[in-house]
Chains A and B, each alone.
Chain A
Amino acid sequence: MRRISHEWFFLIPITVFLGLFVFYPLTRVVLRSFTDNLTGHFTLQNYLNAFTQTRYLGSLKNTLWFAGACTLVGAVGGTFVGLLASRMSPKARGMLLSFYSLPMTLSSLVVAFAFIVLLGRNGVFNIILNRYLGLPKFDLYSWHGLVVTYSFYNIPLMTLTMASVFLNLDRSLIEAARNLGAKAWQVWIYVIIPVLAPGFIAGISIVLAGMLAAFGTALALTGMAKSLLSLQIYSHASESNYNIPQASALAVVLIVVIVGSLATLNWIERRLRPGGER
């Protein structure tokens, strides 16, 4: 007879919590996505709508483009800053990374407000651009504007990941490769990229998943003007055109899109991993 080890009792609070506030709501979302908003009967109409109505299809397309663009900017910017950070003195790096941790907890509305003051129609930068440099004003309320604003989250997030990835890159690996006769480009192809890939992909997974679902800053900046999947869900779940089943179906679609993206990235990562599946 084996005694149940005490560890399992410690999992009771989190199990109850997750059951009540994650699995139960999630189940409700999935179940409600198959019901009619008015009659409550079973229907596939909500999913049909999601893939036939132009407003939903358009929002899905927008979401994919927007998240892709944000991830690209975040990945490039974060890798660049991360590389720089890894080459700095520990003191300078510590300071930089402390600052770059700040956006993580910052309210999406505060960021929206900050960018309105900086880059809004009468924002400080726009006045400088327009009056002193004679350039056209930057339109914060465009797709570009949203990508720039969200980069304030994504570049720091990616920087934190990449800085530690670059720091963990064992220099002796590179030296060993050079010593074995590898040219600079071969060192990159065969040593550096495979070693960096897992961290890099983990980093962009977080950014991409976040951006596929992001809506707070966008809502504050452009209201419902820019059609994102998350904003469509938001409007059905909490605003005037209240339609919980439709919101639920779109939420399920969003989850599937996120899981699909993460699975794809994970698949790519396993292919890049040294000694991984070929």
Chain B
Amino acid sequence: MRRDTVVALIQRSLLVLLILYIVLPLLVPLIFSFSTLWMDIVPEGFTVRWYLKIFDRPKYYRGLITSLLVAFSAVAIDVFICVPAAYAINRLRGPGGGFLRAAFKIFPLIFPPIVVGTGFVQAFNRPPLAWSGSLMLAVFAHATLGFPFMFRNVLAAFQTIDERTLSEAAASLGANLWQRFRYILIPNVIPGILSGSLLVFAISMGEFEVTSMIAGFGWRTMPLLLYRSLIDDIRTASAISGILIATSILAFLGMTLISGRVGAGKLRAAGARE
């Protein structure tokens, strides 16, 4: 065999191995969730029984709906606070802007979920902030955990489009602040907003740590149900894992699609047809 064929072969197999490192742990719960029996190395039988169970029993499908509701609300809040903030902070000149940009970067590091949870457990248990155990508090918690990701994506979008010059051009053409946002800025940063939204959504769907600390009696999210079933119902656990893995994969497919379209200029074409 020629030498470079060997090298190519090694490279190819290395790539496969590196990808397997990620894919295998994701694939296993999926296979598990579709098999009737898996006692040995090879699983047996194909079934969607475990998934049907989730859609059958109120406890589980309510959990799914709760998770979706919380995730969508957290995304909405993060969009609402991060798009204006990223716009403003991208514009701030001088040390103030630099400080804020750095602060948002290290914020999630020094304020990790366990600290967010410890804070949320005790901060919202008396009027006027008596939100303990409410679903709203979970929404706020997920928005708190997610906003750095949203902020980073939107800020990067504002930075890459040279927002200041585009805004000035639009202003010199007669567009006021609202029109600049509506016609120029939003269409250009929408890929960043969408990427950030998918990220926050996926994180929220899988969030267990803080949710378990502030969970009320009236509601359960998917990860909370997964935690219970890990102990006593491994089959349901596999189906819930399957749903959560699918969410993550879909979110990343979406983000890849968005960045690919931006790269190819297709999104611009699509956005401008309006």
Chain A contacts to B: CB under 8 angstroms: 6-8, 10-14, 17, 20-22, 24-26, 28-29, 32, 81, 84, 88, 92, 95-96, 98-118, 122, 124, 127-128, 152, 155-156, 205-206, 209-210, 212-216, 220, 230, 233-234, 237-238, 244, 247-248, 251, 254-255, 258-259, 262
Q: Would you call B19 and A99 a contact (CB within 8 A)?
A: yes
Q: Would you call B22 and A251 a contact (CB within 8 A)?
A: no
Q: Mark B109-138, 1 if CB is under 8 A from A, else 0.
A: 111111111111111100000000000000
Contacts A238-B212, A251-B114 given; indicate if A113 touches B18 (C-beta within 8 A): no
Residues of chain B lying within 8 A (CB to CB) of residue A212: 112
Query: Closest CB of chain A to B95's CB: distance in Å?
Result: 15
- CB-nearest residue of chain A to B27: A114
* Number of B residues, CB within 8 Å of A: 78
Residues of chain B lying within 8 A (CB to CB) of residue A116: 230
Contacts A10-B84, A28-B123 given; indicate if A111 touches B25 (C-beta within 8 A): yes
The segment from B52-60, B140-148, B186-194, B266-274 that touches chain A is B140-148
Query: Closest CB of chain A to B236's CB: distance in Å?
Result: 11
Complex CA–CA separation, A22 to B80 (angstroms): 17
Complex CA–CA separation, A107 to B251 (angstroms): 13
Contacts A96-B19, A220-B230 given; indicate if A105 touches B122 (C-beta within 8 A): no
Q: Would you call B29 and A114 a contact (CB within 8 A)?
A: yes
Residues of chain A lying within 8 A (CB to CB) of residue B241: 107, 109-110, 113-114
- CB-nearest residue of chain B to A119: B25
Query: Closest CB of chain B to A153's CB: distance in Å?
Result: 11
Residue in contact with B114 in the complex, picked from A10, A28, A215, CB distance below 8 Å: A215
Q: Would you call B251 and A105 a contact (CB within 8 A)?
A: yes
When A and B form their complex, which 10 residue pairs have the shortest distance between CB atoms, in order from nearest? A25-B119, A107-B206, A213-B112, A105-B202, A10-B84, A209-B109, A10-B88, A14-B85, A25-B123, A114-B25
Q: Would you call A237 and B40 a contact (CB within 8 A)?
A: no
